[in-house]
Amino acid sequence: MLATLPIPILLALLAQAEPAPAEPSAQPQAEAAPAATAEPGAGAEPAPEPAPPPTALAPTEPEPKPAREGPSRPEPRMMFGFCAGADFQLSGDVSPKVGYSISPLFQYDYLRLADRLALGMRAEFSFDRFQELVTAQADMGGGQFQPYRTTRSLTYFDFALLATATLHLSRVQPWAAAGVGLALGNFDSAEAAYQPGDFRTTSPLVLGAGGLDMAVGRGALVGLHVEYRGLLAQPSSVLASGQRINVFGDRLSVQAGLLYQF
C-alpha cells in the first residue's frame, strides 16, 4: 500500500511521524554566566594588606634601674669681702675711746639646710686704730723742756676664725657668728705720764658678731655688721712712776661691708 502512494505524500507522512528535536533548556540561574566583578571605583579605598606575622624577638635582659638619688643640695658657696667702720673701746685706762677698724674676710659655706640656713666658717683679719693729738715735752737739756704736738696711738692686729649661720631670705641675709682668735696690741705715746711709752701685748680673744646683708647685684652684697671682741687676758702695764694701768681692753665694731658671693 505504501508503495502505491505517491512519493511526495510519503515524504510528508514521514516528516510528521519523526519527533521534533527538544530545544535546549535554559541553564539554571546558579550556573548562569558569572557576574562581572566590578572594578573599584575612584572613591573606594583599597583593601588593607594583611600584616606580616610578628617575628619572635630574642629575649633581652632588663635594664638596671638607676639608683634613687636623694634630694639635690645646693653647692657650697664662698664669699669674700671688705668691711670698714667705727671702733669703740669698752674697757681700758687710756683714751681715745673711738677709732676705726678695717676687716677683710673670707667665708666658706659647707652645709645648706632646707635651702635656707647655711652653716659656714669665716676667716677674718682686722686692723683697729685709736689715736689723738697730745702735747709732749721734749728735753732740751739743762732742765729745759720744749712742748710739741705728737700722737698717742693704740693699734690692734687681730686674726680670728668664726662659725657662721646665715639665713637666706630672698635678697636679705641675716647672719650670726662666734669664734676665737688672737690679738696683737701696741700702745705708743711720748707723754711723760705714760713713760716708758711703749707697751705691747699678745692675747687670745673671743668674738661674737651679727649683721644683715642685702644682695644688690649678681653675687654682690652690701651689709651692716656689728662685732664684739673681748680679750681673754688683759695684762696690766707698769708706768715709770710704778703705777699699773690697763692699756688694752675690749672693743665693739660697727662696720659697713661690701661683699661678693660665688
The 10s digit of each residue's pLDDT in 88-120 is 999 989 999 999 999 999 999 999 998 899 999
Question: Domain containing 81: what range?
Answer: 77-130+145-261
In a domain, 59, yes or no: no
Q: What confidence score (pLDDT) does residue 30 get?
A: 42
Higher pLDDT, 164 or 56: 164
Residue 37 has pLDDT above 50, yes or no: no
Residue 136 has pLDDT above 60, yes or no: yes
The pLDDT > 90 percentage for the chain reads 58
Q: What confidence score (pLDDT) does residue 188 get?
A: 95
Q: What confidence score (pLDDT) does residue 22 get?
A: 52
Residue 51 has pLDDT above 80, yes or no: no
Confidence of residue 235 (pLDDT cuts 50, 70, 90): confident
In a domain, 228, yes or no: yes
Distance CA 5, CA 8 (A): 8
Higher pLDDT, 251 or 139: 251
Q: What confidence score (pLDDT) does residue 47 get?
A: 58
Q: How far is CA 187 from CA 127, 149, 154, 207, in A?
A: 14, 17, 5, 22
In a domain, 18, yes or no: no
What is the per-residue pLDDT across 185-232, written as a single tens digit (0 to 9) for each?
999 999 999 999 899 999 999 999 999 999 998 899 999 999 999 999
Q: Is the peptide bond before 50 cis (omega within 30 degrees of 0)?
A: no
Rama region for 92: left / alpha / beta (φ>0; ψ in -120 to 50; rest): left
In a domain, 226, yes or no: yes
Residue 55 has pLDDT above 60, yes or no: no
Residue 2 has pLDDT above 70, yes or no: no
CATH assignment at residue 192:
2.40.160.20
Rama region for 96: left / alpha / beta (φ>0; ψ in -120 to 50; rest): beta
Q: What confidence score (pLDDT) does residue 118 get?
A: 95
In a domain, 163, yes or no: yes
What's the mean per-residue pLDDT of the chain? 82
State the virtual CA torsion across 154, 155, 156, 157 in degrees, nearest 10.
-160
Q: In this predicted structure, which of 67-71, 79-83, 98-102, 174-178 has the lowest mean pLDDT?
A: 67-71
In a domain, 55, yes or no: no
Residue 23 has pLDDT above 80, yes or no: no
Buried b (16+ CB within 10 A) or exposed e, 117-142: ebebebbbebebebeeebebeeeeee
In a domain, 114, yes or no: yes
Distance CA 189, CA 136 (A): 9
How many independent structural domains does the chain possess? Answer: 1
